[in-house]
Structure 1
Amino acid sequence: MKKVSIVSLLMMLLIPMTAHADWAHVVHPGESYYSIASQYGVNTHQLQSMNNDWSSYLSVGERVQVPVTLNSYEKDLLARLVEAEAKGESYAGKVAVATVVLNRVESNIFPDTLYNVVYDGRQFSPVLNGTINQPAGAESKQAVEEALDYQGYDNGSLYFYNPDKAESAYLASREVTVVIGNEINVK
């Protein structure tokens, strides 16, 4: 029994679970897109794009959607998922996979942390077959960085699949957002 308690404690310490309410910032007096972007370490243009707002005026109490930010553990986890899930895909395909995962973190129909999205049931085969535990290559790590920078500029993809490898009537019925090589991203 003691070992279980120690293991549980270690897992809580080793696996950071960043709590994200809904990736929104409530505007306070005197704040601008620039000041909010600076606070979160993101580009002002990216923040405005995410909110589809090109004005410079914000109202006190307004909710501004902010990009997902990841700590080093979460970046590594996402890079390992990308490496395993998009093996054999182009660099653009790897960015697209990372983008889908980040969109899921922001979506209210999926869990609100990266860890919980990645380990949500049977969503990703690398989690099920253990290949997510293999280290990520430089290209997958760079794809994660690009996906983080790309937030707000994509088409809101929440799923990806390769119709040559998997059939899904559900995914085939969804709105296509982008096609990259053999991979189709959908909303």
Structure 2
Amino acid sequence: MKNNYMKTLVVACVATFASIGFQNNTVEAITKSPVVKEDNLQELGQQFGLNTEHIEQVNNRPDNWVYIQEMLQNPNQPKVAAKKSSKPEIKKKEKKKPAVTISNKEKDLFARLVEAEAKGESYEGKIAVATVVLNRVDSPDFPDTVTGVIKQVVGNTYAFSPVQNGEINKPASNESKRAVEVALTREDRLNDSIYFYNPKIAEDEWIRTRTVVKTIGDHVFAK
């Protein structure tokens, strides 16, 4: 046990000198010095500034004597690796940045429309309604802002019934707010759908002639 400790002590000295750039002959002089008495260990440690953690790392290696020989042959390249954590690295999930940026006031109006139009629909359905609004902003056939699309007047009425009947003035749910945030990333444009309707209550026959893209809950999305 004592012999093993002294071997480890020698390696620690070598590693210490190698890390500060001493010449090979200095290292060789240390490794050839007779270390035979226990009483010399503390003195040697103080003289060469031994690193306790370094000693423990070397001593725990199953091939520590082979490792010592390698260190003595090539002292300029210390080989004790840093301890690796046993805990798996946890990567933080990055929040996706919106592709479209709008003011908080406009975002609130947007979320209130989604709430009024898709209340009772699934989260996916709410995202789809918000996507239709953004697709209209991109379309040359509609106003080029979210507010303009929501408050667009067609004939003698508003394009969205909640604006007409005042339902849009009610606060939005957290789910509708999140749906707006997801829609703003523009990852799924719903095949550029610019219309949605409930086939059970839709009175406009023209809307039924549009090409259907997807049905989510009670809403049909078309372009």
TM-score bin (small chain): 0.5 to 0.7
Between the aligned partners of 2:126 and 2:143, the Cα distance in structure 1 is 22
Equivalent residue for 2:135?
103
Name the amino acid aligned to 1:119. K
User: How far is 1:82 from its partner?
Assistant: 0.4
User: How far is 1:167 from its partner?
Assistant: 2.8
Give TM-score scaled by structure 1 length. Answer: 0.62
Between the aligned partners of 1:150 and 1:177, the Cα distance in structure 2 is 17
Provide Cα deviations, 1:37-66, integer angstroms capped at 9, x if missing partner: xxxx65xxxxxxxxxxxxxxxxxxxxxxxx
Retained in 2: the 8 A contact 1:68–1:105? no
Does 1:128 pair with 2:169?
no
Match of 1:91 among 123, 130, 150: 123
Q: Name which structure has the greater RCO, CA cutoff 8 Å, separation 6+.
A: 1
Between the aligned partners of 1:100 and 1:68, the Cα distance in structure 2 is 14
Does 1:81 pair with 2:117?
no
| RMSD, aligned α-carbons | 1.5
Identity in percent: 56
Q: For this pair of structures, how many residues does the alignment match?
A: 123
Q: Which runs of 5+ in 1 are unaligned?
A: 1-40, 43-66
Provide Cα deviations, 1:62-99, integer angstroms capped at 9, x if missing partner: xxxxx432221111111000011111111111111100
Equivalent residue for 1:72?
104
Q: Which runs of 4+ in 1 moved over 4 A?
A: none
Name the amino acid aligned to 1:176. V
Retained in 1: the 8 A contact 2:131–2:189? no
Q: 1:68 to 1:106 in 2, by over 3 A?
A: farther
Equivalent residue for 1:161?
197
Provide Cα deviations, 1:106-155, integer angstroms capped at 9, x if missing partner: 11000011111100012111100111111101000011011112345420
Retained in 2: the 8 A contact 1:104–1:110? yes
User: How far is 1:171 from its partner?
Assistant: 1.4
Equivalent residue for 2:218?
182
Retained in 2: the 8 A contact 1:99–1:151? no
Q: Which runs of 5+ in 2 are unaligned?
A: 1-96
Name the amino acid aligned to 1:107. S
Equivalent residue for 1:143?
179
Retained in 1: the 8 A contact 2:135–2:189? no
Which structure has the larger Rg over C-alpha atoms? Answer: 2
Retained in 1: the 8 A contact 2:135–2:194? yes
